[in-house]
Amino acid sequence: MNTHTQTMPVERSAPGKVILCGEHSVVYKRPAIAVPLSDLRARATVVPAPKNQGLRLVAADLDEETLLQDAPPQHPLAAIARGVLGYLDPTPTFPLGGEGPDATLTVRSALPIAAGLGSGAAVSVASARALAAYLGHELDAEMASALSYEVEKIHHGTPSGIDNTVIAYEQPVYFVKGTPPQVFTIGATFHLLIADSGIPSSTREAVAGVRRRWEAAPETYNELFDRIAALVDAARTAVAGGDVRALGPLLDENHSLLCEMGVSLPELDRLVDAARAAGALGAKLTGGGAGGNIIALVPPERAGAVLAALEAASAARVWQTTLGEG
Ligand code: PMV
């Protein structure tokens, strides 16, 4: 592939995401729906650096930096950079020297880490696109997603691939592991609140916990996964058809099934209950659980009251967003 190093700085960004329904069961090939959070983004810039510097990788929010050549294989920014460089020129006589251009890649993110909002995949997609663009190549969604999936494996062990997919496509997706993502259009404006419990969530541990319990009681868990699959299909119909009121009870039901799977926490249940009591149409944990965030679907006129109730219930942060606008 033809690549050339340009001397102009480039910037690319990628959104966060929320899983509306189907987390965990999606690891077992059941469907899930995720939507991008276009106003909460990770941004990556690549700027030229002095000759022979190599590629410097800077995680500005974490105050960490390294040269690509010194970074271990598990380093997430190094892994995405190596993936991009290998994709752009997989030959052994790599014209960029195998360690990238003389440049500095800097990442900043508005997304909380370990909170189920896709921070890792957003950083990977933004970085992959920025580095490729710096080298004269725009990555399409499929390739940005595939390269980021490799890094998701470092973060999560056995990811379904839903995070990198929804973030790279930046469109609502109905996702089944191992099949092409189905992007779809939202039929009305949905108002969501996202509330952070402030408790860090390890997706890797949450997924491993479900796997242990599934192995111990496969019939029970397969039935839970199938019930979630049925509600995900109903949710897709509601979201695509713009039926806001039909979606609420489906979110509630999904939260109950996630509780049965053992991935909720009293702190998450408290936020979910507070949202419902203040007028949310439905609420549930989102992402890996055992910490992280909940989402609440609200009628616009109740958004302020639900937000106040979430804050009173000790949410560390609350974001307000709309889906399907414009
Ligand atoms: O990265 P998170 O916390 O949004 O979790 C991803 C969702 C899971 O279904 C729990 C795991 C996966 O790989 O799909």
- Does residue 134 fall inside a structural domain? yes
To test ligand 1's pocket by mutation, which of 207, 221, 295 has the most ligand atoms within 8 angstroms of CB?
207
Residue 104 and residue 212 in one domain: no
- Does residue 14 fall inside a structural domain? yes
- Does residue 288 fall inside a structural domain? yes
Residue 14 and residue 124 in one domain: yes
pLDDT average per 10 residues of sequence, the chain (326 residues): 64 97 97 95 96 93 94 94 89 57 95 85 98 95 97 88 96 95 94 95 92 98 98 97 95 98 97 98 96 96 98 96 81
CA of 47 to the centre of ligand 1 (A): 33
Q: Let me know if 163 is a catalytic residue.
A: yes
Domain range for 61:
10-183
- Does residue 237 fall inside a structural domain? yes
Residue 155 and residue 208 in one domain: no
CA of 54 to the centre of ligand 1 (A): 34
Of 165, 183, 201, which one is at a domain's C-terminal end? 183
Pick the closest to residue 11 from 108, 84, 80, 94 (CA basis).
108
Q: What is the CATH classification number for the domain harbouring 211?
A: 3.30.70.890
Residue 67 and residue 125 in one domain: yes
Q: Return the pLDDT at 201.
A: 87
CA of 85 to the centre of ligand 1 (A): 27
Q: Which atom of ligand 1 is nearest to the CA of 207?
A: 10
Element (H, E) at 303: helix 303-312
- Does residue 5 fall inside a structural domain? no
Question: For 260, which DSSP code?
Answer: H
- Does residue 3 fall inside a structural domain? no
- Does residue 206 fall inside a structural domain? yes
Residue 27 and residue 170 in one domain: yes
CA of 288 to the centre of ligand 1 (A): 5
Residue 219 and residue 274 in one domain: yes
Residue 58 and residue 164 in one domain: yes
DSSP string, 87-110: HH--SSS-TTTTS--SEEEEEEES
Pick the closest to residue 189 from 20, 38, 325 (CA basis).
325
What b/e readout covers 278-295, taking b as 16+ CB neighbours within 10 angstroms?
bbbbbbbbbbbbbbbbbb
Strand locations in 53-199 (E): 55-59, 64-67, 103-109, 173-175, 182-183, 190-196
Q: Return the pLDDT at 1.
A: 47
Q: What is the CATH classification number for the domain harbouring 64?
A: 3.30.230.10
The residue to which tokens 């979430």 are assigned: 310
Residue 171 and residue 72 in one domain: yes
Number of folded domains in the chain? 2
Neighbours of 254 (CB within 10 A): 27
Residue 230 and residue 254 in one domain: yes
Of 183, 206, 236, which one is at a domain's C-terminal end? 183
Catalytic residue from among 89, 140, 163, 226: 163
Residue 212 and residue 173 in one domain: no
Q: Return the pLDDT at 94.
A: 47
> Where on the phi/psi map is residue 323: left (φ > 0), alpha (ψ -120 to 50), or beta?
beta
pTM over cut 0.85:
yes
CA of 49 to the centre of ligand 1 (A): 36
Is residue 234 exposed (0-12), middle (13-18) or buried (19+ Cβ within 10 Å)? middle
Q: In terms of residues, how long is the chain?
A: 326
Q: Whose CA is nearest to atom 10 of ligand 1?
A: 288
d(CA 207, CA 215): 12
Residue 243 and residue 165 in one domain: no
Of 126, 160, 183, which one is at a domain's C-terminal end? 183
d(CA 13, CA 128): 10
Measuring from each residue's beta carbon to the nearest atom of ligand 1, which residues come in under 6 Å? Answer: 19, 23-24, 26-27, 116, 118, 156, 159-160, 162-163, 201, 203, 207, 287-288
- Does residue 2 fall inside a structural domain? no
Q: Whose CA is nearest to atom 6 of ligand 1?
A: 287
Residue 20 and residue 163 in one domain: yes
CA distances to 14, 65, 76 from 190, in Å? 21, 39, 34
